[in-house]
Amino acid sequence: MRPTEEQEELRSAVRQLLARQPGPDAWGPLAGQIGAAGLAVPEEYGGAGCGPLEVHVVMEELGRALAPVPFLGSAVLTTQALLACGDAALLPGLAEGSAVGALAWAEDGSWEPAAIRTAAHRAPDGDWRLTGTKDHVLDGADATLLVVAARTAAGVALFEVPVDGPGVRRERLVPMDPTRAQARIALDGATGRLLGADGDGERVLARVRDLGSVALAAEQVGAAERGLELTVAYARERVQFGRPIGSFQAVKHRLADAYVQVEAARSIALGAAHAAADGAAELTRYAAAAKSACSEAFSAVAGETIHLHGGIGITWEHDAHRYFKRAHGSAQLLGAPAAHRRRLAAELDLLPRQVA
């Protein structure tokens, strides 16, 4: 499962760009020069026509840099939702980066379709009207395209809602992880356009959750790897009792354990990406396992990054605390590790059956 030459070139290009232009301003060059915004969009809609393996490469690099760009929310979640709906009209704008998409999905901290309470109903004029509140909407305050999951009489469905239309209120949140922009979106009779088939939303969201989890696992691996690199470098230069702290056996053991966790997470994340690329029927199993394992590995490595840096690790001047915050924030995104283990158990038919 070695990356192709093209994938390595993509990795190098993204890493170099993020080194030259860190921060949110990187999104313009990522979209315009590298084509990251349309990486997963088919060529006939203006995209690159790539797949989960290329998304995996980009997400790893974005994780290493903790890049505050809307790739996950727009180029992965929103794009995959539109592809799964079969609605291609909005894809060209997303592909070229002129539009930034946000998928308003979670409610009350849950990404389970059963938790969706936002209601959509037909008004007398024939338009759909949506009422409800969405949490943890990635890049929701700045998005120019808003896709909302709501419940109709037929079940869950997805709708395009004008971002600044009547009845739409967007509130920028201050999350624990400042590098991951989130918003709360309140809808009060907002007008929406149905995307795809009414009642098909659960299938669409299940697909988006699988592919989003696979992508997020790659980001967690990249960030964990970079956190470990920073820690190893610090252990070589920090001197106590006349010698580098990296020479102490206890520190060596902790760094070795962290390395094993990073490499194990890398393997399961890459395996999930290959399953997605191959269209495996067991994708949900791979995605749930990867999201659970990579979340816990990143959290553990980020904890060691803080501990082994000592006092400097919790200062604003050092990046250690940023990786720690990203680790714990991303662990909850799209569902906590325990939620994904329940999904895996359900796929493997390991959950106890209800007695009638």
Type and span of the H or E element at 262? helix 249-277
- The pLDDT confidence band at residue 353, using thresholds 50, 70 and 90, is low
- The pLDDT confidence band at residue 285, using thresholds 50, 70 and 90, is very high
- The pLDDT confidence band at residue 351, using thresholds 50, 70 and 90, is low
Q: What pLDDT does 53 receive?
A: 97
Token representation of residue 299: 């959290």
How many residues in the chain?
A: 356
DSSP secondary structure string for all residues of 23-85: SGGGHHHIIIII-GGGTTS-GGGTS----HHHHHHHHHHHHHHT---SIIIIIIIIHHHHHHH
Beta strands 128-138 and 182-195: pairing type? antiparallel
Those residues whose C-beta lies under 8 Å from the C-beta of residue 21, and which sit 6 or more positions away, are: 29
- The pLDDT confidence band at residue 356, using thresholds 50, 70 and 90, is very low
Q: What pLDDT does 310 receive?
A: 82
User: pLDDT digit string (tens) for 108-167?
Assistant: 999 999 999 999 999 998 899 999 999 999 999 999 999 999 999 999 999 999 999 999
pTM: 0.94
Q: What does residue 308 show for φ and ψ, rounded to 5 degrees?
A: -80, -15
The chain-wide mean pLDDT, for the chain, equals 93
Q: What pLDDT does 235 receive?
A: 87
